[in-house]
């Protein structure tokens, strides 16, 4: 803010007929300093963590974490968040009283560990521990349907039957030795699921596939 320099001159009533002295002008140095704006700090972009079909890529150039090794994923996510997870059992959905695995949950992200199946991850926040989580195509929670489709996403499930899919797939990687259940005769594929509320992505899930019925 430019400072305003005001000179106040007090004229004595006893000195009638005397002109008031002129107000002093600011020195060139002071005026120059006052008119020079302060530099605006440049915003620092949040580091990006990419969730691929195989796991998380380390933004620092490290090895990241593979979905095939759940303990590795739990350690990696815990490092991003900077806190320990809430740990719970994944109960048998058929009500048999058995445990199917273990869930590790933080605010906005969870990792499920199913024995001999590796890790399954869902993300419900664009930022986790100050890091932006997005797919290899640059899609994150908060992205639009139009952005996802432009990045190559396709419809996989219209949950409420209204003609607009709430679940999209993005990224595609064939898995040799598997057969697609949605495309008979084709090799099965893995992909990332985008869950939408209206036209906004609210959740990322990985890894998903079209060859497993579980």
Q: How far is residue 66 from each of residues 7, 49, 151, 159, measured CA to CA in Å?
A: 71, 13, 24, 30
Domain count, the chain: 1
With CA atoms as reference, report the closest residue to 198 among 128, 143, 129, 131: 143
Which range has the worst mean pLDDT, 33-37, 127-131, 156-160, 162-166?
33-37
Answer whether residue 41 shows pLDDT above 70.
no
Q: Is 126 a domain residue?
A: yes
What pLDDT, in 10s, does the model give residues 91-126? 877 777 778 899 999 999 999 998 878 899 999 999
- 34 vs 59: CA distance, rounded Å: 43
Q: Is 20 a domain residue?
A: no
- Tokens matching residue 31: 């005026």
Q: In the chain, pLDDT over 90 holds for what percent of residues?
A: 64
Are 165 and 156 contacting, i.e. CB atoms less than 8 angstroms apart? yes
- Domain range for residue 65? 48-91+98-209
Q: Is 63 a domain residue?
A: yes
Answer whether residue 15 shows pLDDT above 60.
no
Are 91 and 99 contacting, i.e. CB atoms less than 8 angstroms apart? yes
Q: Is 40 a domain residue?
A: no
Q: Is 21 a domain residue?
A: no
Answer whether residue 38 shows pLDDT above 90.
no
Res 52: pLDDT:
92
Res 89: pLDDT:
93
pTM over 0.85: no
Res 17: pLDDT:
41
Q: Is 162 a domain residue?
A: yes
């Amino acid at each position: 803010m430019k400072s305003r320099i005001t000179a106040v001159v007090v004229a004595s009533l006893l000195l009638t007929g005397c002109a008031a002295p002129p107000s002093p002008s600011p020195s060139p140095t002071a005026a120059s300093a006052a008119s020079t704006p302060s530099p605006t700090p440049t915003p620092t972009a949040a580091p990006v963590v990419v969730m691929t079909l195989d796991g998380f890529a380390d933004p620092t150039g490290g090895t990241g974490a593979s979905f095939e090794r759940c303990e590795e994923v739990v350690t990696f996510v815990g490092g991003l968040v900077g806190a320990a997870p809430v740990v719970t059992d994944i109960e048998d959905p058929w009500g048999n009283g058995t445990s199917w695995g273990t869930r590790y949950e933080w605010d906005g992200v969870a990792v499920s560990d199913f024995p001999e199946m590796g890790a399954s991850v869902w993300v419900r926040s664009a930022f986790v521990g100050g890091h932006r989580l997005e797919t290899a195509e640059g899609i994150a929670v908060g992205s639009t349907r139009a952005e996802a489709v432009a990045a190559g996403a396709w419809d996989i499930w219209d949950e409420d039957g209204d003609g607009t899919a709430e679940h999209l797939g993005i990224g595609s990687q064939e898995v040799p030795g598997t057969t697609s259940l949605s495309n008979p005769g084709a090799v099965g594929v893995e992909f990332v699921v985008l869950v939408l509320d209206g036209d906004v992505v609210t959740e990322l899930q990985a890894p998903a596939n079209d060859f497993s019925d579980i």
